[in-house]
Every structure is written in structure tokens, then in C-alpha cells.
Structure 1
Amino acid sequence: MNIFNKVTLQSLKKSRTRTIVTVIGVVLSAAMITAVATFAVSLQSYMINGAAAKYGDWHIEIPDTDSSFVLEQAEDSRVGNAVVLQNIGYAPLEGGQNPDKPYLFITGWNEEALDALPIKLLSGRLPENNSEVVIPAHIAANGGVKISVGDILTLSVGSRMSGDQKLSQHDSYRSGEETLVPMTEKTYTVVGICQRPAIEEYAAPGYTLITTEDTAAVDSLTVFITLKNPYQVHSYADSISDNNSYVLNDYVLRFMGLSGEKMLTVLLYSIGGILIALVMLGSVFLIYNSFNISLNERTHQFGILMSVGATEKQLRNSVLFEGLCIGTIGIPIGILVGIPSIKLVLTLVAKNFANVMYDNVPLTLVVSVPALVAAAIISMITILISAYIPARKAASTPVMECIRQTNEVKVEAKAMRTSKLSERLYGLEETLALKNFKRNRRRYRSIILSLTLSVVLFVSSSSFGTYLNKIAENSSVVVEEYDISFDTRDMEESELFQLYDELKTAVGVTESSYQALSTYSCVLNTSDLSSHFLDEYGELIGYDGASKTVEVQLNIQFVEDSVYQNLLEGLGLSPEEYTGQDKKMIMAGILPGRWYTQEQPMEFTLRSKTGDQTKTIRATFVKDYPDLLPSEPGDWPGYSLMVIAPYEVKPQFDALGATVKPTKLGMTFESENPGQSTAAMQTMIDGASITADYHLYNLYEILEQSRNITFIVNLFSVVFITMISLIAVANVFNTISTNIKLRRREFAMLRSVGMSDRDFNKMMRFECTLYGARTMLWGLPLSGILSCLIYKGMVVGGAENIDFVFPWGSMAISVFGVLFIVFITMLYAISKIKKENIIDALRDDMT
């Protein structure tokens, strides 16, 4: 070890407080960078494993090949595993209602395929021989054909041909261009019903039927390849593309950044990069200040070393060696702190991620050596950047300036002047503080810059968390008081009520109800409308101020009779006046964010499509309505005029035939265990082979997902803001305490000429106030601007329906925090100064 490195180590030992605070800053920085990198890797692994569990753990599919290809792949060193399915053939779906999916596609599965490819059985069991088959439930829902467990299917099985080309499941139906060439007849017994297999694309022309391997089938196979190194998937695909077509598993590969859809990977690493950049910004400033202060302490020492022949390179290397020493201590500790810290965070959010995304795959810590090496390198780069700037400055300072220390304090008589008013207003102690501020602007500028950076980082991080929370809140649905809903637009009422009687017996169901929602178009004379109505609804319904008529959309919610009676009682309305044929009805006027009310009842006339029948509704406006079914895209025109009526009067309106779109029929349920009830209902629906298009929602689960997203965002925001705040606090403490220490001779001189502790404390309090005022002068406007830029960036990035929120709360916290930290740090540093002997401090010539 050369002499310069020994001197550097002695300097670090001498200034223990500064060294410890700097190491703490490096530890925090390295811990945060490690945590961000490890979380990114863990989340990526979770997404990959979740997608593999849902869509299949394979990388490339070869949809139509033979057994010789399978044997070749067994010898390929790149292939980790190969799962094989038999393509037994296609058969026409008799009575199918989907013109783009007219076939059944029979596939033969072995035990390995059943284990490797995800299949969710809804009822029945898996096939045990090649005369049994499992059918997907969407044959009924999408194809309109009811097939039940126990049915026997006799199928004419063959191949789809377009000229001489044999078509596969990945070739969509070509109406008029393709033909089905039958080859054999097969009979199957349906033993189970499953969800649509993940390997079946939505555009596939055939519904996938699952049976066991058939030795008599043609040598046509689908092979699912898993590579040992997924990053070779494209080179592997190119090597087989001459003789085979292939399909990539983009659901899995996109999270590895290996598919054409790289947005999610780019988003994940972009957010990680932004967080690391923010950490580096705070850390660079903290460590830079630390080295800058260290050089201020060692300026005289450097001058002496240069006077005896030390070169610029040796002095620069001395400062960089100091950075390496601090990094060698701080970075390993930071990595060791960062890993268990992010593990704790992952443990806290694992259940929430399961509720939001994949519930069959755990979110676990994945420690990646490359990620840790990258974190260590980034941390060391942060330290070296911070050390290089002051090192270059130290090496270029002239020798005499270093020895005499005239480079830090530069006094101009004109700049030192203070007005008579200031002296009269502040007094001697405050005037001394003000003059000292003017005397050494560079040193004070570093303190104010540290404080300003702390304010900006805290406020901007808080704003970032606030907007993330708003995005999470906006992504949630408006959930009514029920837990589960079912709705459809193409089911007969008789079929709905039959299904309702069955679904309400599902396990856990405590309350149930049914309803219907019909939409009508009404033409109103503007002369009959109140000015209040036109003021509130005019722009929304397209009234231009001159038209004699306007067209409005009117919804009528037909609810179960008992629900209607309870609503009337709750509103204090007479059942005799609002129940029965041609009686008054109640109406809810809903505007964005508020209710519409008027004292007088309002009349609407509905006309049949032929115009020969009419129905007049006289409705009273109220501020309540029964729980609604979940809305669909396009259901909300910006306003709602909704009449609530008992189900008993629905036939009158049905006879009118005036609806503008099919009536939505639905059911709602409350349950003690919504998840269990929903699963039982889905099994009942599949068993009933419903052919209508329907939606079954577990709204309790959707609400829980929204709450979990909000919790995850809140937790990460709090952790990030806390860590950034700790770096900022360490920065401020390091800067202020060391600057106070550098003024020990100045303070000793003031005390030696009779300044009392009271006057001394008064002067220091004024300095604290001066720091706070200057910090707020710069920090608050910059924070406001940066918060606005964060908002604009999120809006540009696709965030919708979020309003700008000025960060008053975080600004108030930052003002209090700055003043508190400054005063506490001052008290600490001054208590150290006061314990020193005045004579020894005056003799110190190293300041």
C-alpha cells in the first residue's frame, strides 16, 4: 500500500462520523438497487411460471408432423422435453351455430400430455381409453350445440384439405375453399366436460375433443417442444422451418422478451430503470457531498503533499481509493440488506398477487447472480461518479491556494454588506449569521441543494405513489351489494327462471334475486320539458337550444316484486299509488357524479316500432335504485334516465315491442363464500349446456382484486418513499454536521470574545430558518413542477380518468421535515463543538 492510500485510510478513521454516514448512504443505495433488481427478476419469474401453468410449459409447437420428426428431436441437444399429441382428425359439428368453427377436432393424449398441458375438468372424468372423450364446454356456449356427459357421438373423421394442402388447427376456416375429406367413422362416449383447452386458439376451426392415443390413427402428430435454453427459440425455429410450420408460445415467451410483443418486458425494466435512476440521483448527491466535504477537510493536507512532489494523478487516485474503500464496505452490506428486505416485501404481497394474477403459482424470491452483479456495479459506478468530480477539482487546485485555504472563502467587501434595516431588524447574532452565509456561499449552497433535493425527491415520490393509487382505484369496478351476477341478452325468460331456481341452491348462497333491463328511445317535445331538465340534460341529449324535439334513451329496470315493495317502503312512497297497472312509477336521474331531481313528475311516451301502439309513463324522480347488473362497454351514454318497475308489469312493455336492443336478463346473489358459490354455479351452467351467450361474474373477487392492487401499490410506494427519505436525511445530516464541524475555529473565536450560549443558539436558529426558507423557495416550486410532469407523463402513457392533484400534503410534511432535520442536526453538531476546548479549536490550522 502506497503512502497516499495510508493517508486516505487515516483520514477516514479520523472523520468517523462522516465516514459512517457515507457508508450508511452507500448501504441504502446498494440495498435499494439490489431490491429493485431482485424484485424485477422475481416478478418476471412469477409471470413466466404463471403463464406456463395457465397456457402450458412449452416454447414452440409443431402442429402437423410425424413420428420420425419426434425421434430426431430426441437426439437434439437443444431440446429439453417434447410432448406429443395425436391429430386423429376433424368431424363436422352437426347443428353448430358458429360459422367460423364448424368442426370437432379429435386429439389423442398420453399420460405425459395430460400432465404437461393444462386441462381444467368441469364435470365428469378424463378418458381412460380411445372410445371415451372429454368435450369442451364452449361447444354449447359458442357453438350452440348441447352435448351432455353420457351422450354417444358417432363421427365421420377425416382431414381438412384446401387443394393439395392439409390444414391444421392454426389455419382458420376457409369457407368455400376447403373441404373435409372423411377417412373413418368413430364412436365415442362423452365422459367429461372441460374448459376450452389452452392449446386451442380462439380462431381455431374445430372444438378440441380429448381422448387417449389411438394406435389405428394416421401418423399425424402435434409436438410441443420445451428448450433447455429458451433464448435459442428463434434459432431453433429457423432450423426446422424448412420442413415444418411452427407456432411460438407467446404467452410465456413475451415475459422473457422473446416474442414480438415486448411491451410488458420493456415496461417492467423501464419502471425498474426509473426507480434505479431516482436512487442513483439521491445517492450520487449524498456521496458527492461527502467527498466534497472530505476534500474541504483535507485541502491543507493536499497542499502539503503537492508541495513535496505529489502529482495530480496521485491525488486523484487517492480520492478514488477512498471511494473504493467505502464501496468495499457499503456495497456488500447493502446487498445483504437488500435481499432479505425485498423478501419481506414479497412475503407481504404474495397473497395479493395471487388474488390479482395467478393463484396457482407462488410469488417467491428469485436471487439472480447477474442481477446482484449488476446492482454491485451500478452502486460502484454511483460511488466513483460521486468521487471523481471532487477528485478532479482537488487535483487541479494550485498548491498555495490549498496551503492557505483561500479557495473556499472568497470575500468581497461589497457582497458582505448588510443594510442598516437588517441589522436593526435582526440584531447582532442574526447579522453575523447572514454575513457568514454571504461569506461562504459555496458551502451554504451545498446544504441548501441537499435540502432542496430531499424535498423534491420526497414530494415527487409521493405524487408518483398518489397517481399509481388513482390508476388502481379507477381500474376497479363499481360493485353493488351483491357478490355474484349472471346476465344474458339472448335467453328465453322460461329458461332463465329454470336456471335461476337451480343456481340459487348453490352452496353458500344466502340471498338471490332476478331482474331485467330494457332500453327504449323516446322523442320528447322540448316545450314540455322544464328549464331545469334542459339545463342539466340538454348538452348530454344533444339539445341545441332551438330544436322542438329531442331524443333520449330511457332504461326500465324490472325488479322482483318484493324488491320493488321494499324500495317503496324505504323511500316512504305509497304502494297503492305506485303499484298496479297504469300507476305512477319511480325514476332515477343519474348524471356524472350526481343525482337529478325535480319536484314535478315527468311523462314519457313509448311507441311501438310500427307506431300504432303507445305507452305513457308518469314517473317521480327519486335518489335511489336497486342494485344494477354489471354494465357493458357502450351502455353508459353519459347520463341515465332509469325507471324502476315491478316485474309484474313487464309483459305490458314486452307487448309494445319498442326496445332498441335486446332486453338484458339477469340474476344476483349474495353468498357466504362467493368463490365456492361461483364455481358451483359454473358447474351447474355447464351441466345445463346453456347455448346462450352469458356472463357470470364473481364481483366479490373483482373487488378483492382491486383492493389487492391498491395494497400492492401502497406498499411499494411507502417502501420506496421511506428509502428515498432515508437517503435524503443521511445526505442532509452529513452535509450540515460536517459543515458545522469545519467551522469549529470560527465558533471558538466567537465564544472567546464573549458570545454567550444564548446568543450563540440564537444565531444558529436563525441559520436554520435561513436554510429552511431558501430550501422552500427552490424546493416547493420544483416539486410542484415535477409533480405536474409526472402527471402529464402518466396521462401520455395511457392513464385515464385521473385528475391532477397538487401535493399540498407531502409539501407540508416536507416543510416540517426539513425544519426538524435541520434543527436536530444542528443541535447534534453544536453539542459536539461546545464540548471542545476553545484554545485547542483556535490552534487548529486545518480548517
Structure 2
Amino acid sequence: MNIFHKVAFQGLKKNRTRTLVTIIGVALSAALITAVATFAVSLQNYMVNGAIAKSGDWHVEFPDEDQAFVREQAGDSRVAKLTSFENIGYAMLEDGKNPDKPYAFIAGFSKDTFDTLPVQLISGRLPENSGEILVPAHLAANGGVKFSVGDTITLSVGTRQAGDEVLSQHDPYRDGEESLTAGTEKTYTVAGICQRPAFEEISAPGYTLITMGDGGNAKSRVSAFAALKKTGQIRTYAEEAARGGAYVLNDNVLRFLGVSGDTLFNTLLYSTGVIVILLVMLGSVFMIYNSFNISLNERTHQFGILMSVGATARQLRNSVLFEGICIGVLGIPLGICIGIPSIKLVLELVSRNFANVLYDTVPLTLCISVPALAAAAAVSFITILISAYIPAKKAAGTPVMECIRQTNEIKVEPKAVRTSRVLGRFYGLEGTLALKNFKRNKRRYRSIVLSLTLSVVLFVSASAFSSCLSEMGAQSAVEADGDISFYTADMEENEALRLYDELKTAGGVTKSTYQAVSTYTCTVSTSELTSEFLDSCGEDSGIDRESGTAGLLLDVQFIEDDIYQSFLESLDLPAEEYTVQNGSMITVGKKMADSTIMDVFRDRTMELTLGAASGEQTKTIHVSFADTYPLDPPPAEPGEVKDYVLMVIAPYQMKPQFDTLSAPTRMAFTFWSDNPGQTEAKMQTMIDSSGITADYTLYNLHRILEENRNVSFIVNLFTVIFSIMITLIAVANVFNTISTNIRLRRRELAMLRSVGMPDRDFNKMMRFECALYGLRTLLFGLPISGLLSWLIYKGMVLGGAEIAYTFPWGSMAISILGVFLVIFITMLYAVSKIRKENIIDALRDDMA
């Protein structure tokens, strides 16, 4: 250790409070960077494992190769694992309804293949020999061909060809260009029903049926799946191995490994982590820089003495950098030791929420990566070096005499510190001294104000983001009826009701109901419509300016009779008037943009004429308007979204009166369950087993709402933790800055006490300085925070959120109290240290 290192080390020991606070700040910074890096690695590992569980543990597929290719690739040093299945052939489906997928594709698996390519069973079991087969559920739902467990099926299995070219599953169906060669008849027993295999491409011409391979022969064609040791070699390997042929990348897995062609996702994956780390570095550099820079006065005098005896600028810079290294050696390991257990605790708190949102079969566990920890330590170390180098370079470049005399520390014209006499009378001598001191050395106070402003902005912005998420979650929770919903627009009413009777027997169902919604047209005069409706939905109401009429779309919601009866009772309406033949009906107008109920017509009762789809028949109804409805209607069909919903509520017993109009009708079932997840799975099995070929949608509303709550919880938790860590760094920064600042003014303050300033006036002056810090902070911090909160709101609205802007009064009030509390506590601590010093010793201090 040379003399300059000893001088730096003695400086650290002499200013123990500043050194301790700086080490704590470095530790907090390193802990946050470590936590961010470790969480990113753990999350990436979780997403990769989840994608593997869903799509398979492979990186690249070669869909049509021979046995020699498999042996060659198995010996490639780049390949970690190779799996294959036999391409047994194709069979034409009888009565298939999908013109782009007319075949059944038979795949011969081995036991090892099932380990690499996951298959999700719906019913039955996996095949155990080459005489059993596993049928995908989408063969019935999408292809219109239904098989049940235990059925025996006979298929004529051949090869697809287009001229001399043999086609594979990677080649879409070529209508009129390809043919199926005559093959061998094979008979299978259906062992089970499964979900669509993840490795089956959307454009594949055949539904994948899985059996057990019999080993084939040397001429058998196979589909090979390779997983590589180094993900960076995947694309190069795939192109070389395919030799110009076809290959398929497992993008679901590669996306989370960061090597997919999804540039948008890769940008999001890396830029998010970089932005968070840059924010941490910004706060950390600011704090550590202040730790070195705020005491520049002391070091500059010391540097002047050292330079006068021959020290070079490089030696002085190295001295300060050595001081930074000493702080880093203590702070960075401490930060890493804090960051890893902290993020482990956070992961344990959110693991269940992640399982509910994403993959329920894959645990979110701590994944410690040595390269990530090394990168976190390097980033923290670079932060320290940057923070130390800037003031060191400035001090080392100052002339010797200026360093010794410190004539460049404060350069100010008399006019710059002049204060108004009116302010002097109002604030008194103590306030005038505080204000003059603030003006004469603004550079010293600017760092304090900026530190506090950064803390205020981060806290208010994080709170605003959390509030927006909470409001979105609250909206979702309010607008959902039931736990599970089933919608269809293509199913006959009798078939739908039979399915409903079956679904409501699923385990866990405690309550259920059904409804039908038919859509009609009606023409009304524009003079009968409210200005609110015309202003907000006029463009979508088919207004004819010449005739002064508007063609409205009107939905009639037919609900179960007992629910309708309860609805009438809640509105205090007489049942005999609203349930008889040609009786009155209840109508609700809803603005879809923000889901608010609005008045469509000026009068509270109306007579409307509904038009048939053919335009030949009509029906006149009498309606009364209400501000609520008993049951959420099914969603509109894609492409039919409109600005408003005008809905008539009627009992199901009236539906036959409207059926003659032949209007398009959507059926919907709503179920309440004790265990929605298990109930949904049982319902899906029932639907798959029933062989329904109509399009339908089965929603687990409970899971969707739970996902929203879990996402909100996860984001809120990380937002709060991030805000706390940044705030701690900012508080350490402010404490370090203010306490060191007071320490450097010890001779100035001792002089005021020596001329007779009483403690009461001294305290008043210091309180006034605190007020100046706080007011200047709030002057900049609150407007910036308000602007950022509004930008966060606008960003969420652009993203599809239907929320109202709420000004963050509460978080701003907390930040105001927090700013003054931190300032006053720090000032009290620093001043108490000054008071304990002997006035004569402080006046003799020439290092201030």
C-alpha cells in the first residue's frame, strides 16, 4: 500500500459516518442490481421450463428424414439430445369438414418420445402397442370426425405425393396438385383422447393420431427432434443439418432463450432488464457521486498540499479510485448477500400467483447464475468507479494554489446573495442567513434537491401505476357473472339445451342458468333519441338525414323464467304486466366504450317494431326502460362489435313468439362452481366426448379474474419493492449529502455560535434551511410526478384499459410528509454532532 492509498484509507477511517452510509448505499445498489439480475434469470428459467412442458424439450424439428439422418445427428457433438417418431403415413378422413386438413397423420411413438414431446390426455390412456391409437380432440371439434375411447377404426394408410415429390406434415395441403398413394389398411383401437399435439403445425394437412411404433425398417421416414448444447448454434446447425430441406424451430422455447426470430419479444425481454438496471445505476451513481463530491472541499485542500510536494494528477485520481475500490470491496459482497435471499423471499411470495397466471405444473424457483452475479458485481463496481472518477478528475485538474486556498469553491457576486429587506423583516436574521447560505453555494444544495426529487417522482409514479392496475382489477371483478361460461352461435337450440343439461351435472357446479340472445333491427325517428346517444353512438346508428330516421340494432335477451321473475321483483314491476302474451318488456341501453348504462330514447316507454332477417315479417313490442340488467349477455361475434347495445330482456317462455322472425341467435350458459378449474376440465371432457362440431367458446371466468388479480399482485409487489429500494438509496443519498454538508460547515456554524447566537435562533436557522430544501424539492418533484402519473394513465388507456384518471393526491401527500421528515431527522442528527464539538476546535479547523 503506497502513501496515497494510506491517505485515502485514513480519510475513510476519519469520516466513519460518511463511509458507513456510502457502504450502505453501495450495498443497497448492489442488492437491487443482484435482485433484478437473479429475478430475470429465475423468470427466464421458469418461462423456458413452462414452454418445454407445453411444447416439448427440443429446439429444432426435421419433419421428414431417413434412419441414416437420425444416426448421423445423434453423433453430432453439438446435439445434446435427439428424439424421433416414425412417420407411418396418411389416411383420408371420411366426412371431414375442414377442406385444408383432409387427412389423419399416423405417428409411431416410442416411450422416450412421450418424454420429449408432451401429450395432454383428456380421457382414456396412452397407447401401449402398435394396435392402439391416441386421437386428438380437435379431430372432432375442427374436422367433424368423432371417435370415442374403445372405438375400432380402420384406416388406409399411404403417402402424400405431388408428382415425384413426397410431402410431409410441413407441407400444407395442395388441393388438386397432390394425391394419396394406395397404402396398407391398418386397424386400431382408440386408447384415449388428447389435446392437439404442440408439435403439429397450424398449416399441417393431417390431424396427428399417435400409436406405438413397431420399429419400422431401414426405409422408414421419421420426424427428428434435436436439442442442442449451445442455443447460439441452433440456427446454424438447423441450416447445415437440413441441407436445404425443411426444418421447424420450437419458437415457444427459443423465444424465452432469447434466440428466436421474434425481434419484438427479444427487444422487450432485454430492454426491460436494461431499463431497470439503468434506473438503479442512475440512483446509485447519484448517491455515490455525492458521497465523493460533497466533501470535495476537504479533499481539494488535501490534494493541494499533496500536489505541492510533487504528487501528480494521476496519483491523486488513483487515490480516490482506491477509496472507491475499498468501499466496493465491502459494499458489493454485502449487497449480493442481501439481494439473493431477498429475491428468494419475493419468489416464494409470488410463485403461487405465477402458477395461476401461467404454468400450474412448473414451479417458480430461485435460479442462481454465476455469470448473472458476476455481471451484477461488475455493474456495481463500474457504478462506483464512475461516481469516484468524476470528482477525482475535477479535483486533480485544479491548480495547486486554488486547491490550498480553496478560492474556487464558492465564486459568487454580491448581487447573487442579496435578499429583500421585506423578506428580512418577515423571516428575521436567522431566515436571512439561511437564504444567503443557500444562494451562495447552490451547487452544494442542488444535489440534495435532486436526490429528494428523484425519490418523490419514483414513489408517486409507482403509486399511480399501482392504482391503475387496482382499478382494472376492480372493474374485472364487478362485471363478471358466474365462474364458467359457454357461448355458441352455430348450435341448434335443442342440441344446445341438451348439452346444457349435461354440463350442469359436472362436478362442483352449484348453480347454473342459460340464455339466448337474438339480434333484430328497428327503425325509429331521430327526434325520439337522446342527445347523449346521438353524440356518442350516432355514427353507428344508421342515421338517414333525409328521412330523419335511424336504423338500430336491438338484442332480445331471453333468460330463464324464474330469473326474470326475480328481476321484476327487484325493479318493483308487476309480473302480470310483463309476462303475459304481448306484454311490456324491459329495455336497457349500454354504451360499450366504457360499459356505462345510458338513456337511448327520450321517453321512458316506447313501442318498437322489430324487423325479420328476411325483411318480410315484423313484430311490435312495448318496452319500458331500466338502468340495470340481470345477467351479462354473451359477447358479440368477431367483426360485429358496435358502439352500443340496446337490449330487451324477456322471459324464455316468450322466445317462440320471436322465432318466426328467423333472427341470428347466440346461446350462452353460465355456471357457478366450488372448484372452477376442475369443473372446466370436466366440462371440456364432456364437450369433447359429445362430438360437437359447432364452433363454441368455453370461458373460465374465475380463472380470468384470478389471473387479473395475480398479475396485479405481482406487478404491485415488484413495484413496491423497487420503489422501496430506490427510496432507500435516495434516503441514504440525502442523509449522506446533508450530514456531510453540515460537517463541512462546522467552522461557519461555530463562528455563529461564538458571536452569541442562541440555540433557539440557531435551531430556527436550520429549520428554515430544511424548509428551503423541502419546498424546492416539491416545486420540481410534484409537477413532474403529476405529469408522469398522467402519462402512465394514457399508456394504459392506449393499451385497452377502460379506467378513469385519478390524480395521485394521497401518494403526493405521503411524499410531502416523507421529504420533510427525512430532511428534519437528518438535520437534527448532523446538528447534534456539531453541537457536541468544542467551538474553539471547530474555529481552528482549516479543512472545512
TM-score class, shorter-chain normalisation, is over 0.9
Mapping of residues 667-746 of structure 1, within 5 Å = 667-746=669-748
Structure 1 SS opposite 2:319: helix
Over the matched positions of the two proteins, sequence identity in percent amounts to: 66
CA change 1:153–1:236 in 2 (3 A) is same
Structure 2 CA distance for aligned equivalents of residues 500 and 792 of structure 1: 42
Retained in 2: the 8 A contact 1:517–1:556?
Answer: yes
Mapping of residues 290-301 of structure 1, within 5 Å = 290-301=291-302
Retained in 2: the 8 A contact 1:286–1:728?
Answer: yes
Q: Per-residue deviation at 1:653?
A: 1.1
Q: Given the alignment of the two structures, is residue 158 of structure 1 paired with residue 162 of structure 2, yes or no?
A: no
Partner residue of 1:757?
A: 759
CA change 1:291–1:727 in 2 (3 A) is same
Mapping of residues 408-447 of structure 1, within 5 Å = 408-447=409-448
CA change 1:477–1:81 in 2 (3 A) is farther
For residues 452-484 of structure 1, give each alpha carbon's deviation from its aligned partner in whole angstroms, at most 9, with x where no partner exists.
33333333444455556667778x587423111
Partner residue of 1:586?
A: 586
Partner residue of 2:659?
A: 654
**Paired AA for residue 166 in structure 2:** K
Structure 2 CA distance for aligned equivalents of residues 590 and 664 of structure 1: 19
**Paired AA for residue 589 in structure 1:** G
Structure 1 CA distance for aligned equivalents of residues 633 and 626 of structure 2: 19
Structure 2 CA distance for aligned equivalents of residues 806 and 534 of structure 1: 30
Mapping of residues 449-460 of structure 1, within 5 Å = 449-460=450-461
Q: Per-residue deviation at 1:547?
A: 4.3
Structure 2 SS opposite 1:452: helix
Mapping of residues 238-637 of structure 1, within 5 Å = 238-242=239-243, 244-466=245-467, 479-527=479-527, 529=529, 534=534, 538-543=538-543, 547-591=547-591, 592-597=594-599, 600-632=604-636, 633-637=638-642
Retained in 2: the 8 A contact 1:429–1:762?
Answer: yes
Mapping of residues 95-110 of structure 1, within 5 Å = 95-110=95-110
Structure 2 SS opposite 1:11: helix
Structure 1 CA distance for aligned equivalents of residues 563 and 506 of structure 2: 21
Partner residue of 1:817?
A: 818
Structure 1 CA distance for aligned equivalents of residues 530 and 251 of structure 2: 58
Retained in 1: the 8 A contact 2:90–2:103?
Answer: yes
- Larger displacement relative to structure 2 (232-241 or 100-109): 232-241
Q: Per-residue deviation at 1:554?
A: 0.3
CA change 1:629–1:787 in 2 (3 A) is closer
Mapping of residues 19-38 of structure 1, within 5 Å = 19-38=19-38
Structure 2 SS opposite 1:366: coil
For residues 425-474 of structure 1, give each alpha carbon's deviation from its aligned partner in whole angstroms, at most 9, with x where no partner exists.
11111112122223333322332233333333333444455556667778
Retained in 2: the 8 A contact 1:587–1:620?
Answer: yes
Structure 2 CA distance for aligned equivalents of residues 638 and 78 of structure 1: 57
**Paired AA for residue 306 in structure 1:** M
Retained in 1: the 8 A contact 2:528–2:603?
Answer: no
Q: Per-residue deviation at 1:255?
A: 1.2
Partner residue of 1:196?
A: 196
**Paired AA for residue 629 in structure 2:** Y
CA change 1:259–1:602 in 2 (3 A) is same
Retained in 1: the 8 A contact 2:557–2:633?
Answer: no
- Larger displacement relative to structure 2 (331-340 or 9-18): 331-340
Structure 1 CA distance for aligned equivalents of residues 66 and 706 of structure 2: 48
Structure 2 SS opposite 1:755: coil
- Larger displacement relative to structure 2 (722-731 or 71-80): 71-80
CA change 1:625–1:35 in 2 (3 A) is same
Structure 2 SS opposite 1:182: coil
Retained in 2: the 8 A contact 1:149–1:191?
Answer: yes
Q: Given the alignment of the two structures, is residue 8 of structure 1 paired with residue 12 of structure 2, yes or no?
A: no
Structure 2 CA distance for aligned equivalents of residues 529 and 769 of structure 1: 59
- State the TM-score, normalizing by the size of structure 1: 0.95
Structure 2 CA distance for aligned equivalents of residues 447 and 697 of structure 1: 54
Retained in 1: the 8 A contact 2:21–2:736?
Answer: yes
Q: Per-residue deviation at 1:578?
A: 0.4
Structure 2 CA distance for aligned equivalents of residues 393 and 288 of structure 1: 12
Structure 1 stretches of 5 or more lacking a match? none
CA change 1:519–1:538 in 2 (3 A) is same
Partner residue of 1:63?
A: 63
- Larger displacement relative to structure 2 (319-328 or 785-794): 785-794
For residues 314-339 of structure 1, give each alpha carbon's deviation from its aligned partner in whole angstroms, at most 9, with x where no partner exists.
11111111111111111111111111
Retained in 1: the 8 A contact 2:537–2:643?
Answer: no
Structure 2 stretches of 5 or more lacking a match? none
**Paired AA for residue 605 in structure 1:** T
For residues 465-524 of structure 1, give each alpha carbon's deviation from its aligned partner in whole angstroms, at most 9, with x where no partner exists.
5556667778x5874231111121111222122222211111111111111111112222
Q: Given the alignment of the two structures, is residue 767 of structure 1 paired with residue 769 of structure 2, yes or no?
A: yes
- Larger displacement relative to structure 2 (209-218 or 725-734): 209-218
For residues 520-553 of structure 1, give each alpha carbon's deviation from its aligned partner in whole angstroms, at most 9, with x where no partner exists.
1222233555667656754552547664221111
Structure 2 SS opposite 1:522: strand
Q: Per-residue deviation at 1:293?
A: 2.2
Partner residue of 2:181?
A: 181
Q: Per-residue deviation at 1:262?
A: 3.1
Mapping of residues 102-251 of structure 1, within 5 Å = 102-215=102-215, 219-242=220-243, 244-251=245-252
Q: Per-residue deviation at 1:172?
A: 0.9
Structure 1 CA distance for aligned equivalents of residues 544 and 804 of structure 2: 29
Structure 1 SS opposite 2:183: strand
**Paired AA for residue 610 in structure 2:** L
CA change 1:833–1:517 in 2 (3 A) is same
Retained in 1: the 8 A contact 2:462–2:723?
Answer: yes
For residues 272-304 of structure 1, give each alpha carbon's deviation from its aligned partner in whole angstroms, at most 9, with x where no partner exists.
111111111111111111101232222222221
Structure 2 SS opposite 1:486: strand
The alignment of Structure 1 onto Structure 2 pairs a total of residues equal to 842
For residues 531-587 of structure 1, give each alpha carbon's deviation from its aligned partner in whole angstroms, at most 9, with x where no partner exists.
676567545525476642211110111111111111111111111100022111111
For residues 22-57 of structure 1, give each alpha carbon's deviation from its aligned partner in whole angstroms, at most 9, with x where no partner exists.
111111111111111111111111111111110111
Retained in 2: the 8 A contact 1:526–1:547?
Answer: no
For residues 636-662 of structure 1, give each alpha carbon's deviation from its aligned partner in whole angstroms, at most 9, with x where no partner exists.
4111110011111112211122x2xx3
Retained in 2: the 8 A contact 1:469–1:713?
Answer: no
Structure 1 CA distance for aligned equivalents of residues 244 and 537 of structure 2: 65
Partner residue of 1:75?
A: 75
CA change 1:629–1:816 in 2 (3 A) is same
Structure 1 SS opposite 2:660: helix
For residues 159-187 of structure 1, give each alpha carbon's deviation from its aligned partner in whole angstroms, at most 9, with x where no partner exists.
11111111111111111111111221111
Structure 2 CA distance for aligned equivalents of residues 184 and 24 of structure 1: 76
Retained in 1: the 8 A contact 2:303–2:403?
Answer: yes
Retained in 2: the 8 A contact 1:487–1:629?
Answer: no
Retained in 2: the 8 A contact 1:127–1:212?
Answer: yes
**Paired AA for residue 652 in structure 1:** Q
Structure 2 SS opposite 1:656: coil
Structure 2 SS opposite 1:381: helix
Retained in 1: the 8 A contact 2:544–2:550?
Answer: no
- Provide the alpha-carbon RMSD of the alignment: 2.2
Structure 2 CA distance for aligned equivalents of residues 441 and 537 of structure 1: 57
**Paired AA for residue 235 in structure 2:** H
- Larger displacement relative to structure 2 (298-307 or 284-293): 298-307
- Larger displacement relative to structure 2 (118-127 or 820-829): 118-127
Retained in 2: the 8 A contact 1:471–1:799?
Answer: no
For residues 81-117 of structure 1, give each alpha carbon's deviation from its aligned partner in whole angstroms, at most 9, with x where no partner exists.
1111111111111001111111111111111112221
Q: Per-residue deviation at 1:622?
A: 1.1
**Paired AA for residue 834 in structure 2:** I
**Paired AA for residue 680 in structure 2:** T
CA change 1:247–1:470 in 2 (3 A) is farther
